[in-house]
Amino acid sequence: MQVRIPEERVEQVSRLSRIILREPFQTRCWAELGYFLASSVLAFAVVVALAVLGIAGLILTFALVGVLILAGGLRAARAFGRWQRALAWQALGDEVAEPEPPIAAPGFFRWLRATWSDGTAWRAVLYFAAKVPLTIFGVWFALSVWIEALLGLLSPFISNRGSTSFGLLGHLTAGNVDGGSPVGLAAHFGVFMTGILLLFIAPWPMRIVVSLDRRMMHLLLGPNSSATRVRSLQESRSRTIDTATETLQRIERNLHDGTQAQLVALAMRLGQAKEKLEDLGDDAGEAADLEVIRQLVDEAHRGAKEAITDLRDLARGIHPPALDTGLENAFTTLAARCAVPTEVQVSIQARPSPAIEAICYFCAAELLANVAQHAGASRASLSCAQHGPWLRVVVRDDGRGGAGINRVGSSSSGLAGLADRVNAVDGHLSIASPSAGPTVVTVDLPTSA
Amino acid sequence: MADADAIRVVIAEDSAILRDGLVQLLTDRGFAVIGAVEDAVGLVQSVASDLPDVAVVDIRMPPTFTDEGLRAAIELRREYPKVGILVFSQYVETRFASELLAGGAAGIGYLLKDRVADVADFAEALVRVASGGTALDPEVVTQLMGSSRRTDALAGLSGREREVLALMAEGRTNSAIATSLVVSEGAVEKHIANIFSKLHLPPTPTDHRRILAVLRYLEV
């Protein structure tokens, strides 16, 4: 009697054996081996480098240089993470998403703080630290099989093969292969055959190790867990909404108290004049009435012109037309309008985003207005320069100084508003204004928001 | 032209340009402007010391520019019910109108500022409020109607009766309503009698019923 094997079973087994037989001839399996070797070397170098930086940093902490060295180490960890991702991409075609860029902050101390609190860098450090035990495990669990297989295959060409078995197979095959005893050709043949057998087994432990590594890489070298980013975005969004609402309220207030009141007064005068004109028709020719009408129309005319000016100012406050042709022109216009002689210097490579341009403009406008109103200055300067992804606007005057962000009083509330506006796009406003002057206000803004 | 003679007015308006314009306009039309102040505190003081016939009150005034004028108006209503109050605002807010009318519509006005452009209508409204009548801006009426919680009380009214009622709410006289709807004054009187009976408002010695009908209509 013949044992009947179900057809699908036969199919499964043959598919499986085909996969196993083909595997050593797939590029993927050699790529994984290559990746393991290369990434182990990289991890070793990185761990050594980070350890040296870390120890040096800790030893020198008292001299403050240590803090710098540690910060440098964190920045380096970021770079190492990038290399590791590039390696994974080159060797395995595995793309790990780019983590968010470090928070670029101008100024030394803010750079230091941003670097120290850079989660991405710390996670990269963690990755390489975890890579050490993983590599040791990989050598023992997977690389040993490969080495055994290759040694077995090469054994006919190696005259005196010592007991090279180590790792997992070292334990399993200990005593089986004893190169010292005269087992002759048969033993050599056995070793060779074992090599061939192991060649088909070796890809699989390696795959396990590499996929563990990939898991870890995605976890630690990819974008930050979204939570922190979400929180910071939420904060900046609520600030933005507040600022936008405040802006709208200000516009409404201006319209209500200014233009609308003017127009109502204007309509009132015209209404009066109209009635007087009608009365005039009834009892013809009263010179006194004519004079009153002339006066009413005159006032209405003046009111209309004032309303136009007010509206224009208001429109300019919403979006300055001067900005249409770029910051340089807008700043020149601002400086020309300023009561204090103002020198303008603008060096920008590319136009920043419209929102940033507008904030730049309003900052400059407000700061120059402050100079004219409060500083008692004889000269002022307005400069705007691009430093990489940052835009720095500096307004300087030789006035009496003493300016500051004052959220309670009304005198400097304009500065507080500016600071909020700047913060809303992750920018920064700082004031240096000693009591005898000069005052320097520096606004740093990202070029895009 | 309404008789403005000897009507004593206090104006509370924070915008100088409007305040001066109002003073000039009302003086020109024969009102006696006995006070022009720029905030609610000044208004209350002025009313207390001079007891005017009517106060023209801007809703938004310093210091917070929200509803100072309205708060002051409600306070004045409580303290000096004889003083007419014409609230004068850039916007119509249903809540303000409801609060203002909650204590009755006699001697109450609520007009959009734009209405001063029609000087005669404005002066007429002021006279009406000063003599215990009502002057509601058509805009106010529309909004109150729109926000009315219960319309079934008015469901029994015919279309024409509703029109008449809306005009009554604005504070128009029978003859003004007749002119506006191009019907005879007698027809208007008939409509009004129907409205009163449909709204279950029994006849009373004064024409208080008019105001009651309006209040019912506005659901305040």
Per-residue three-class SS string for chain A = CCCCCCHHHHHHHHHHHHHHHHHHHCHHHHHHHHHHHHHHHHHHHHHHHHHHHHHHHHHCHHHCHHHHHHHHHHHHHHHHHHHHHHHHHHHHCCCCCCCCCCCCCCCHHHHHHHHHCCHHHHHHHHHHHHHHHHHHHHHHHHHHHHHHHHHHHHHHHCCCCCCCCCHHHHHHHCCCCCCCCCCHHHHHHHHHHHHHHHHHHCHHHHHHHHHHHHHHHHHHCCCCCHHHHHHHHHHHHHHHHHHHHHHHHHHHHHHHHHHHHHHHHHHHHHHHHHHHHHHHHHCCCCHHHHHHHHHHHHHHHHHHHHHHHHHHHHHHHHCCHHHHHCHHHHHHHHHHHCCCCEEEEEECCCCCCHHHHHHHHHHHHHHHHHHHHHHCCCCEEEEEEEECCEEEEEEEECCCCCCCCCCCCCCCHHHHHHHHHHHCCCCEEEEECCCCCCEEEEEEEECCC
pLDDT of A230 reads 76
Do B127 and B208 fall into the same domain? no
Domain end point (choices B109, B137, B165): B137
**B26 Cα to chain A: minimum distance (Å):** 10
Query: Under DSSP, is residue B8 helix (H, G, I), strand (E, B) or coil?
Result: strand
- Residue B155 at interface with chain A, using a CB cutoff of 8 Å: no
The conformation of residue B84, written as its DSSP 8-state character, comes to E
Q: Are residues B42 and B124 in the same domain?
A: yes
The Cα–Cα gap between A380 and A439 comes to 9
Cα separation values, A160 from A155, A164, A169, Å: 9, 11, 20
CB within 8 Å: B119 and A268: yes
Residue B3 lies in a domain: no
Please tell me the distance in Å from A58's CA to the nearest CA on chain B. 57
Set of chain B residues whose Cβ sits within 8 Å of the Cβ of A249: none
Triad B65, B70, B74: Cα angle to 5°: 150
For B:71-110, CB contacts with A below 8 A are 90
Name the residue of chain A whose CA is nearest to B117's CA. A268
Residue A172: Cβ within 10 Å count: 10
pLDDT in tens, chain A (449 residues): 566 777 888 888 888 888 888 888 888 888 999 999 999 999 999 999 999 999 998 888 877 888 888 888 999 999 999 999 999 999 988 888 888 777 766 778 888 888 888 888 999 999 999 999 999 999 999 999 999 888 888 877 765 544 455 555 555 554 454 444 555 677 778 888 888 888 888 899 999 999 999 999 988 888 876 666 677 777 777 877 887 888 888 888 888 888 888 899 999 999 989 888 887 766 555 666 788 889 889 989 998 988 888 888 888 778 877 788 888 888 988 888 888 899 999 998 888 888 888 889 989 998 998 888 888 888 999 999 998 888 999 999 988 888 777 655 444 467 877 887 887 787 888 888 888 878 999 999 988 76
Residue A259 φ/ψ, nearest 5 degrees: -60, -45
Could you tell me which CATH number the domain at A322-446 has? 3.30.565.10
| Residue B45 scores a pLDDT above 90 | yes
**Does B18 sit within 8 Å of A275, measured CB to CB?**
no
CA–CA separation, A402 and A400 (whole Å): 7
B chain contacts of residue A260, beta-carbon cutoff 8 Å: 90, 113
Nearest to A261 among B15, B28, B120 (CB): B15
Are B17 and A269 within 8 A, CB to CB?
Answer: no
| CB–CB contacts below 8 A, A to B | 45
Q: Which of A257, A269, A271 lies closest to B15 in CB terms?
A: A257
The reported pLDDT for the residue numbered B152 is: 63
* Residues of chain B numbered 20-79 and touching chain A (CB < 8 Å): 21-22, 25, 28, 60, 65
* Alpha-carbon gap, residue A361 to A330, rounded angstroms: 7
Question: How is residue A369 written in tokens?
Answer: 């207005």
Q: Does residue B196 share a domain with residue B132?
A: no
Best mean pLDDT range from A103-107, B82-86, B103-107: B82-86
Question: Is residue B143 in some structural domain?
Answer: no
Contact A54, A67 (CB under 8 A): no
List the single residue in A264, A292, A303 with the smallest CB-CB distance to B116: A264
Of B93, B112, B137, the domain-final residue: B137
Mutate to test the interface with B, among A260, A272, A279 (most CBs of B within 10 A): A272
CA Rg, chain A, in Å? 39
Whats the size of chain B, residue-wise?
220
Taking the C-alpha atoms of residue A278 and residue B23, their distance in angstroms, rounded to an integer, is 22
Q: Indicate which CATH number applies to the domain containing B214.
A: 1.10.10.10
Asked if residue A438 has a cis previous peptide bond (ω within 30° of 0), the answer is yes
- B58 within 8 A of B69, measured Cβ to Cβ: yes
* Whether residues B170 and B79 fall in one domain: no
Report whether A447 contacts A389 (CB < 8 A).
yes
Instruction: State which residue of chain B sits closest to A256, comparing Cα positions.
Output: B90
Residue of chain B whose Cα is closest to the Cα of A267:
B117
Nearest-angstrom CA–CA distance, A110 and A290:
71
Per DSSP (E only), the strands in chain B are 8-12, 32-37, 54-58, 84-89, 108-112, 134-136
- B79-90 average pLDDT score: 90
Total domain count, chain B = 2
Give the closest-approach CA distance of A313 to chain B in angstroms: 18
β-strand partners of A391: A386, A445
Closest CA relative to residue A364, chosen from A427, A430, A441? A441
- Whether B117 and A256 lie within 8 Å, measured CB to CB: no
**Nearest C-alpha of chain A: how many angstroms from B37?**
16
Which of A167, A250, A199, A176 has the alpha carbon at shortest distance from A421? A250
User: Are A342 and A380 within 8 A, CB to CB?
Assistant: yes
Q: Which residues of B touch A310 (CB under 8 A)?
A: none
Chain B nearest CA to A285, separation (Å) = 19
Q: Do A257 and B116 touch (CB under 8 A)?
A: no
Q: Say if B119 is an interface residue toward chain A (CB within 8 Å).
A: yes
Where in the sequence is the domain holding B175, given as residue range(s)? 148-218
Q: Given this model, what pLDDT does residue A183 score?
A: 52
| Domain termination residue (choose one: B115, B137, B159) | B137
**A264 to chain B: which residues are within 8 Å by CB?**
18, 21, 90, 113-114, 116-117
A303 neighbourhood in chain B, CB within 8 Å: 17
ipTM: 0.74
> What angle, rounded to 10 degrees, do the helices at A119-138 and A27-59 form?
120
Place of tokens 């009141």: A261
Q: Which of A269, A274, A292 sits opposite B21 (nearest CB)?
A: A269
Question: A393: burial class by Cβ within 10 Å (0-12, 13-18, 19+)?
Answer: buried
Maximum mean pLDDT: which of A103-112, A113-122, B77-86, B131-140:
B77-86
B116/A268 touch (CB, cutoff 8 Å), yes or no = yes
* Angstrom distances, CA of residue A253 to CA of A260, B68, B122: 10, 15, 25
Chain A CB within 8 Å of residue B197 CB: no
B123 in contact with chain A, both atoms CB, cutoff 8 A = no
B-chain CB neighbours of A274 within 8 Å are 119
N residues, chain A: 449
In-domain check, residue B40: yes
Q: Based on the domain organization, do B87 and B170 belong to the same domain? A: no
Looking at residue A179, its pLDDT comes to 46
CB B29 within 8 A of CB B61: no
Find chain B residues with C-beta within 8 A of A256's C-beta.
60, 90
Examine the domain organization and report whether B165 and B112 are in the same domain.
no
pTM exceeds 0.80, yes or no:
no
One domain, residues B128 and B167: no
| Contact assignment for A256 to B118 by CB distance below 8 Å | no
Does residue B117 belong to the interface with chain A, where contact is any CB pair within 8 Å?
Answer: yes
Q: Which residues of A touch B120 (CB under 8 A)?
A: 275
Residue A161's pLDDT is 47
Name every chain A residue with its beta carbon within 8 A of the beta carbon of B117. Answer: 264, 267-268, 270-271
Please list the residues that pair with B89 across neighbouring strands: B112
State the smallest CA–CA distance between residue B12 and chain A in angstroms.
14
Cβ <8 Å between A272 and B119: yes
Residues B128 and B19 placed together within one structural domain of the fold: yes
Other beta carbons within 10 angstroms of residue B113's beta carbon come to 25
Query: What are the structural domain ranges in chain A?
Result: 9-220, 235-318, 322-446
Lowest mean pLDDT among B4-13, B104-113, B149-158, B195-204: B149-158
Contacts of residue A271 in chain B, CB cutoff 8 Å? 116-119
Please say whether the beta carbons of A350 and A447 come within 8 A.
yes
Q: Which among B14, B18, B65 is the nearest to A265, CB-wise? A: B18
Is residue B201 in a domain?
yes
